[in-house]
Amino acid sequence: MRWTWTADRRGRSSGCAAAFRWKSIVSELARVESEQHGSVCLVRIFGEIDMSNDRDVLSEIEVAVGRETDRLVVDLTHTTYLDSAGLALLLRLAERMQARQQVLSVVVPVDSPVRRAFELTGLASVIDVVSRSEDALSETRPGHSNDQM
Beta bridge partners of 34: 22, 43
Q: What is the pTM of this model?
A: 0.77
| Block mean pLDDT (10 aa), the chain, length 149 | 33 43 60 92 95 93 90 96 96 94 95 91 92 81 45
State the pLDDT at residue 17.
45
The confidence score (pLDDT) of residue 95 equals 95
Which fold would CATH assign to domain 9-138?
Answer: Transcription Regulator spoIIAA (3.30.750)
Cα–Cα distance measured from residue 116 to residue 8, given in angstroms and rounded to the nearest whole number: 32
Model pLDDT, residue 102: 94
40-49 vs 79-82, strand pairing mode: parallel
Q: Distance (Å, rounded) from C-alpha 73 to C-alpha 79? A: 14
Long-range pairs, 121-125, Cβ under 8 A, ≥24: 121/87, 123/87, 123/90, 123/91, 124/149
Q: Tell me what pLDDT residue 66 has.
A: 84
Question: What pLDDT score does 27 carry?
Answer: 52
Domain boundaries, the chain: 9-138
Tell me what pLDDT residue 68 has.
86
Nearest-10 crossing angle of helices 84-99, 54-64 = 30
pLDDT at 67: 83
